[in-house]
Structure 1
Amino acid sequence: MTIDTATTTELEAAVFRRLVAHLRAREDVQNIDLMTMAGFCRNCLSNWLKDEADARGLELSKDESREHVYGMPYEDWKRRQPEATPEQQAAFAKAQAEPH
């Protein structure tokens, strides 16, 4: 099956929205855990969103892109999250040291 470019873009956009909704619902999963396991987190997604807006000459602040991904102001998100444990920090450091 061949899918045209416009439909591919629509599908990819729908997947992005679904991923963001999933991450918003999973507040129990901390960014450090995402970074350790997958190599990206909510901040990465918001940075990528801002990068793409910038590339198209669209005004989107870092705070706006984060709020889009988090579903709330970033400062509110941070207040709701516990500090990373020493175990999480060690796992993150180990994952960052491994070649990719």
Structure 2
Amino acid sequence: MTELSEEQKRDFEAAAFRRLVGHLRERGDVQNIDLMNLAGFCRNCLSNWYREAAETEGVALSKEESREIIYGMPYAEWQAQNQTAASPDKLATFETNRPKDH
């Protein structure tokens, strides 16, 4: 395996993260509940992880600020443009598989 410096790892991880966030911004048709049911995380999880990382470094971000960073717009605006009602089946699956920290 290629030996990577800590700086390279950080840079590559950051690039992959930016690409993931960009992909999720382009795919507003993919609902958060679908992501949660399939992968156990969603856009809101990413925004929470981002905020926690900032706080670890002494940077205070509000929930709204971190969500806007991930969604690329205010959360309420994203919801109005993209969010649809979850079906009873999706809600039941979510309740069954819901991660304990959500």
Same structural fold, with TM-score higher than 0.5 when normalized by the shorter chain: yes
Q: Deviations over 1:27-67 (max 9, x none)?
A: 01100010011000000000000000001001322111100
Question: Structure 1 residue runs of 4+, over 4 Å off?
Answer: none
Structure number with greater CO (CA < 8 Å, separation at least 6) is 2
d(CA) in 2 for partners of 1:9, 1:45: 17
Structure 1 unmatched ranges of 5 or more: none
Other-structure match for 2:13: 12
Other-structure match for 1:34: 35
Question: What is the letter of the counterpart of residue 10 of structure 1?
Answer: D
Other-structure match for 2:92: 90
Other-structure match for 1:25: 26
TM-score normalised by the chain length of structure 1: 0.91
TM-score normalised by the chain length of structure 2: 0.90
Q: Deviations over 1:61-85 (max 9, x none)?
A: 2111100100110011122211111
Equivalenced residues, count: 97
Query: Identity over aligned residues, as a percent?
Result: 53
Q: Give the superposition deviation at 1:88.
A: 1.1
Question: What is the letter of the counterpart of residue 86 of structure 2?
Answer: A
